[in-house]
């Protein structure tokens, strides 16, 4: 406290700076070791699979994304984020050879954020990869390579259609239609009480061509910096949505449970380090917020001191700190309260 205000300002910005640098360094390491694997939007042979929220907006199963906000999206993983964050929320899709415009409203954004799940997923065909020995699927005569086109009289163009129809036919005897060697076959089977038959479909990476961007040690340096900047910029935009009640973004705020769910169920070093880097960037943003009791609050008062030449009154500092602590506790209670409420929904 005996140091000049400008020196104290450097100290207060130290933690935030280290968080940003750490995030960059981890992203550099991740890019160098693993590169960046993604699904090119243009490689999605079967388009997207739209959930109920997406279908309310106007999306249909099999739609192929052309542009979001007037721009092409290279990676499918960026599509939903671009829809949420772009001011221009018009999406152009190719449907049965025709371009269709879909306008996303703030009301729809609220529904998307509330679900906390991708409302558009990669569509995959129901092509059988493996049949479980002794299962109902084997008894029915289902074979590797069969493409399931109909279940219980309902058309199944995509794997999720198959899952949906089987769930609705638990414990029932049904017929399924498959294409085998360009020939249509009708098989009779019985669905288990769990809504399954006992088969696995061809993996997504066997149906769709993934791409991987590889980085040399030197290339990973600017790559890591750009990745950290993109995450920083994206998170700032997401925070702005919190102050727009019509988007309902505040409902998606989460605490410890949300952070826990972000990790994969099985250990994955790449995902672990990516998420660690992201948390470091988030900490930098949260700590620089001008809330007393955080680094950003101290920075705010130090800038005042540098500009005016005098420090704020001690009582003002004291009351500001109390207000800051109350604000932080309220935010923490709200975020974790959202988590608890979602457990019962």
Contact 128, 151 (CB under 8 A): no
Predicted pLDDT at 332: 86
CA 174/CA 98 separation, integer angstroms: 36
Tokens of 137: 């699927």
Average pLDDT for 230-253 = 76
Residue entry with tokens 């089987």: 166
CA 140/CA 191 separation, integer angstroms: 11
Residue 26 clears pLDDT 90, i.e. is over it:
yes
Average pLDDT for 230-239 = 86
Average pLDDT for 149-154 = 91
Model confidence over 30-55: pLDDT tens digits?
Answer: 999 999 989 999 888 899 998 888 88
Instruction: Identify which of 112-121, 179-188, 329-338 has the greatest average pLDDT.
Output: 179-188
Phi-psi region of 14 (alpha: psi -120 to 50; beta: other; left: phi over 0): alpha
Model confidence over 245-264: pLDDT tens digits?
Answer: 666 666 677 777 777 777 77
Which of 1, 20, 15, 14 lies closest to 225 in space, CA to CA? 20
Predicted pLDDT at 7: 87
Compute and round to an integer the Cα radius of gyration of the chain.
26
In 242-344, which ranges are continuous DSSP H helix?
Answer: 256-261, 269-288, 295-308, 314-343
What b/e sequence results for 69-99 when a residue is b if at least 16 CB atoms lie within 10 Å of its CB, and e otherwise?
beeebebbebbbebbbbbeebebbbebeeee
CA 312/CA 262 separation, integer angstroms: 41
Average pLDDT for 265-271 = 85
Predicted pLDDT at 310: 84
The DSSP code for 67 is E
Tokens of 30: 């991740």
CA 58/CA 91 separation, integer angstroms: 10
Average pLDDT for 54-83 = 88
Residue 277 clears pLDDT 90, i.e. is over it:
yes
Residue 103 — pLDDT band, cuts 50, 70, 90? confident
**Backbone torsions φ then ψ of 318, nearest 5 degrees:** -65, -50
Residue 280 — pLDDT band, cuts 50, 70, 90? very high
Predicted pLDDT at 235: 85
**Helix, strand, coil % (nearest 5) of the chain?**
50, 20, 30
Residue 343 clears pLDDT 80, i.e. is over it:
no
Tokens of 337: 């309260």
Angle of helix 5-33 versus helix 269-288 axis, rounded to 10: 160
Residue 116 — pLDDT band, cuts 50, 70, 90? low
% of the chain residues with pLDDT over 90: 40
Residue 276 clears pLDDT 90, i.e. is over it:
yes
The DSSP code for 246 is G
Q: What is the largest CA-CA distance in the chain?
A: 86
CA 56/CA 15 separation, integer angstroms: 45
Tokens of 335: 């975020």
Which of 56, 207, 51 lies closest to 117 in space, CA to CA? 51
Which of 304, 301, 299 lies closest to 284 in space, CA to CA? 299
């Amino acid at each position: 406290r005996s140091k000049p205000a400008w020196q104290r300002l450097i100290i207060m910005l130290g933690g935030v700076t280290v968080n940003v640098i750490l995030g960059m360094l981890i992203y550099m390491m991740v890019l160098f070791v693993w590169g960046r694997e993604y699904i090119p939007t243009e490689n999605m042979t079967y388009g997207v699979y739209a959930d109920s929220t997406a279908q309310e907006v106007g999306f249909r199963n099999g739609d192929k994304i052309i542009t979001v906000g007037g721009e092409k999206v290279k990676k499918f993983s960026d599509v939903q984020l671009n829809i949420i964050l772009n001011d221009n929320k018009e999406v152009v899709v190719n449907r049965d050879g025709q371009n269709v415009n879909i306008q996303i409203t703030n009301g729809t954004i609220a529904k998307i954020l509330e679900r906390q799940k991708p409302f558009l997923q990669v569509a995959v065909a129901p092509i059988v990869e493996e049949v479980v020995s002794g299962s109902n699927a084997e008894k029915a005569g289902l074979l590797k390579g069969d493409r399931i086109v109909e279940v219980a009289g309902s058309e199944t163009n995509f794997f999720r259609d198959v899952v949906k129809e089987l769930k609705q036919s638990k414990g029932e005897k049904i017929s399924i239609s498959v294409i085998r060697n360009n020939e249509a076959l009708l098989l009779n089977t019985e669905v288990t009480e769990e809504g399954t038959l006992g088969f696995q479909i061809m993996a997504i990476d066997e149906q769709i061509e993934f791409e991987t961007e590889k980085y040399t040690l030197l290339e990973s340096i600017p790559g890591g910096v750009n990745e950290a900047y993109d995450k920083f910029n994206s998170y700032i935009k997401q925070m702005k949505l919190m102050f727009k009640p019509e988007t309902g973004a505040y409902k998606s705020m989460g605490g410890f449970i949300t952070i826990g769910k972000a990790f994969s169920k099985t250990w994955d070093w790449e995902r672990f380090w990516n998420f660690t880097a992201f948390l470091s960037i988030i900490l930098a943003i949260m700590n620089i917020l001008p809330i007393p009791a955080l680094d950003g609050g101290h920075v705010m008062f130090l800038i005042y001191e540098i500009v005016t030449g005098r420090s704020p009154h001690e009582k003002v500092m004291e009351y500001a700190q109390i207000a800051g602590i109350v604000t932080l506790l309220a935010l923490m209670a709200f975020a974790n309260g959202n988590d608890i409420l979602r457990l019962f929904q």
